[in-house]
Structure 1
Amino acid sequence: MTTSRRRPWGSLTVGVTALAVALTGCAGGSGGSAGGGESKTITWLVDNTENTVTYAEQIAKDFNAANPNITVEVETRPQGGEGDNIVKTRLSTGDMADLFSYNSGSLFHQISPEQNLVPVTSEPYMANVSESFKPVVTAGKEVYGVPVGTGNAGAVLYNKKVYEKLGLSVPKTWSEFMANSRKIKDAGIAPIIQTYQTTWTSQLFVLGDFANVAAASPGFATDYTANKAKYATDSAAIKGFEHQEEAAKAGLFNEDFASATYAQGLEKLANGEGAQYPILSFALPEIKVTFPDKLNDIGLFPLPGEDASKNALTVWLPGGVYIPKSTKNLEEAKKFQAFIASKAGCDSQTKAVGANGPYLVKGCDLPADVPTAVKDMLPYFEDESRNSPALEYLSPVKGPALEQITVEVGSGIRSAKDAAALYDEDVTKQAKQLNLPGWN
């Protein structure tokens, strides 16, 4: 195996150098090998979180063990809005890697898949992909991606030792959550971790609350897509903005919320410097990598709403791995995509970072020793009445400025009411760009 270093694409000052893994053969997703042939190099663009880079390197290494004559170079990009812009720019200029990882759902539609991506609907390896995943990487009548990672939840990760020390119970309503948070603050611990230097993390109060919105307004996603419902005027939908504003005004965030990063937020949670972090559960493998001895100190509960009897979990589907039309190595890219969409690909990810939810590839079972927080999450996944997909999987409408708007709400710069109205304006621009019925 040979390695090389490749500069991460984009204006990163702190990044992870790309891994180049020299491979020796070609194979399908099941890991079989084929004979000889000219050596090829393919590239895979992923975000720069430690968790993502760790499993990407492991997938490349295991692909190497079974497939000759291909070199995979893993490139990194920033997260959040900056990373979105890099993906869109590279697609528009024809400078995209041979494969790239990106969101499924509404953000997938914003990269013009029919114009920019290679359809893989009829590829044999797509038979391995769960039917529940395919709709969120489909445009027109074609499927464009395979899942990487597991199902996740937008929820509250909490430090169980802090809860035990203070005699707290998992809250089922927002008022119980606020009461817990005040007790935590009185104990000298940051009650709610916020990390606005990493802007995307600010959105969870709104996005992670959608299961509560769906319970209160079952038709919201349909009406929202048809321009018949708005965040500013729907009493359930605006709650996420209001809850973030309420928690900020109560002084329940860590003192350095404005400058703290996602990685620092996980450190605060793992070490008990902060008790509760509204975040995506894909943080769990990152905690495993960085704070392995603290992983099972972390539990999970849904963002609470108003009704304890309807306490439900907001679920995120995995992102996809896509092939741009600009690739000059289509056959090799499809072979690597096939490996990702196989049990061998799942096993690579579990070996690297553990499993933080169910895989959406057939034959990929979870190990018995999943983290405590995953055990907390699974009952909600297993009972459809206790979960809802996030809005971005039920509607193509998602405005790009939400993370900036929620930073303003959490920082006391903008009220919840004004923020919801501003986000409705942001959404309108996006819906018109997508030419959705009822918006023009």
Structure 2
Amino acid sequence: MKTFHGRLGAALAALALATTAACGGDPAPAAGEPVTLTFLVDNSETTLATAKAVVDAFQPANPDIKIEIETRPQGTEGDNVVKTRLSTGDMTDMFWYNSGSLLQALNPAQSMADLTGDPALANVQDSYLSVVTQGGKAYGVPISTAGGGGILYNRKVYADLGLQPPKTWAEFTANNEKVKAAGLTPVISTFKDTWTSQLFVLGDFYNVHTALPNFAADYTANKAKYAATPAAMTGFQRLADVHQKGFLNKGFGSATLDEGLRMLVEGKGAHYPMLSFLLPPLLKDYPQVATDIGFFGIPGDDPARNGATIWEPAAVYVARSTEHLAAVKKFLAFVASPAGTDAQTKAVAPAGPYRVKGSKLPEDAIQVAKDLQAYIDRDATAPALEFLSPVKGPALEQITVAVGSGLTPAAEGAAQYDQDVAKQAKQLGLAGW
């Protein structure tokens, strides 16, 4: 059994360790002294290629800093790995993880190094900082690109039928009628992969935010509901409308994401509500994706307020337990620099714009990235709701499948989702629920 003095000694040692961590880890090593940093990323092919490219580009100019990449699973299993390693103090020096509301679940004030005002953030676009900020403190730098959540469309089909990207829902409906008359599928749906059914709802958030700038805050505080807010309910109605008008592909209930993407690329369908992130991996087998597929935001009702919902890039965060804070910050500054984004571009075709000042898309960037850049350039974007609020119910994809299949009316689906999110908000312990 430990003696009182033994327990006291252990407590003092723990306190000293906590104090060191709070001050940013051990002092930086002397100039020229080698440092080895560890970097945790998920094991997807794109993530690994991006991380390796940035590390390889950084190290020649920083020979005294060696970076070792570790991998974790994707999805929920990977989320649990990150949470466990942070809570036990066993996290790598830095790690790649989602930005936005998912950051809150990691308790950054206790588990991560505060980067507020640090030179590592000097090149980060101001509009991105909100999605890596909790409690007024910034914790990460962007890695990879922003992506669009809206309508992917076949530009050759549009050219053949003399169509223009719509700026209103009425124009979108008119385009769909012309596509249908030409014997093609107007709107591709792939409900076998249930998550793909959500885009008309999630991608419509730019229109919600434009109409109601405080919706995200009110929604988080339980002061706004989908079913009781016409602007928010519209996404469910749009989903129901395309089914009611007969715009969907045959067999949409059993169609898969891969089948939907192939239909779009081959010109058998004109529109696919989807995320732009999914296109770069197709380039190997379908090089025409680079030029034939474009992007536009879910159209609203006012052409003067046309815009798009974006999914912000993930971030690289610093574990509070790192013993090499100065070296880690040096790497983060490189990640969030034009040189860092150039390295990423060489490894993975950008699916959208970078969120780093001075970074530009290459001339041969895929068309969807250029289309999304145009929205950002005219300040006509809003982050998806999940980047502004931690409230997202787990049953949304089942609800949107039912609404999009004509089984559940739009208003009823919105009400079901309000009930679904209430359960999650209570589990999170949010005020007002």
For normalisation by structure 2, the TM-score amounts to 0.80
1:153 and 1:316 in contact (8 A); partners too = yes
**C-alpha separation between the residues in 1 aligned to 2:120 and 2:290?**
34
Runs of 5+ consecutive residues of structure 2 not aligned to the other structure = 1-30
**C-alpha separation between the residues in 1 aligned to 2:183 and 2:100?**
40
Q: CA deviation at 1:243?
A: 1.4
Aligned to 1:274: 269
**C-alpha separation between the residues in 2 aligned to 1:251 and 1:166?**
19
34, 37, 43: which one aligns with 1:37: 34
Cα 1:391–1:41, aligned 2, differ >3 Å: closer, same or farther? Answer: closer
Structure 1 segment 272-421 matched on structure 2, within 5 A = 272-325=267-320, 333-384=328-379, 386-421=380-415
Identity percentage of aligned residues: 51
1:12-44 deviations in whole A, cap 9, x for unaligned?
xxxxxxxxxxxxxxxxxxxxxx74636x46242
Cα 1:263–1:341, aligned 2, differ >3 Å: closer, same or farther? Answer: farther
Runs of 5+ consecutive residues of structure 1 not aligned to the other structure = 1-33
1:42 and 1:329 in contact (8 A); partners too = no
**Partner AA of 1:44 in structure 2:** L
Q: CA deviation at 1:180?
A: 2.6
Aligned to 2:74: 78
**C-alpha separation between the residues in 2 aligned to 1:308 and 1:233?**
25
Aligned to 1:145: 140
**Is structure 2 residue 24 aligned with structure 1 residue 46?**
no
**C-alpha separation between the residues in 2 aligned to 1:94 and 1:196?**
41
Q: CA deviation at 1:424?
A: 1.7
Which secondary structure does the structure 1 equivalent of 2:106 belong to? coil
**C-alpha separation between the residues in 1 aligned to 2:51 and 2:188?**
28
Q: CA deviation at 1:300?
A: 1.6
2:353 and 2:372 in contact (8 A); partners too = no
Q: CA deviation at 1:201?
A: 3.1
Cα 1:135–1:171, aligned 2, differ >3 Å: closer, same or farther? Answer: closer
**C-alpha separation between the residues in 2 aligned to 1:132 and 1:85?**
29
1:46 and 1:100 in contact (8 A); partners too = no
Cα 1:93–1:412, aligned 2, differ >3 Å: closer, same or farther? Answer: farther
**C-alpha separation between the residues in 2 aligned to 1:329 and 1:190?**
55
Cα 1:233–1:413, aligned 2, differ >3 Å: closer, same or farther? Answer: same
**Partner AA of 1:365 in structure 2:** K
Cα 1:360–1:417, aligned 2, differ >3 Å: closer, same or farther? Answer: same
Count of matched residue pairs:
402
Q: CA deviation at 1:322?
A: 1.9
Aligned to 2:112: 117
Cα 1:223–1:95, aligned 2, differ >3 Å: closer, same or farther? Answer: same
Cα 1:302–1:358, aligned 2, differ >3 Å: closer, same or farther? Answer: same
**C-alpha separation between the residues in 2 aligned to 1:247 and 1:358?**
30
Cα 1:75–1:127, aligned 2, differ >3 Å: closer, same or farther? Answer: same
Cα 1:409–1:63, aligned 2, differ >3 Å: closer, same or farther? Answer: farther
**C-alpha separation between the residues in 1 aligned to 2:159 and 2:61?**
47
Determine which structure has more spread, i.e. the larger CA radius of gyration.
2
**C-alpha separation between the residues in 1 aligned to 2:247 and 2:90?**
44
**Which structure features the higher share of helix residues?**
2
Q: CA deviation at 1:400?
A: 4.1
Aligned to 1:243: 238
**C-alpha separation between the residues in 2 aligned to 1:419 and 1:83?**
31
1:273-302 deviations in whole A, cap 9, x for unaligned?
332122223334334455333311111211
**Partner AA of 1:210 in structure 2:** F
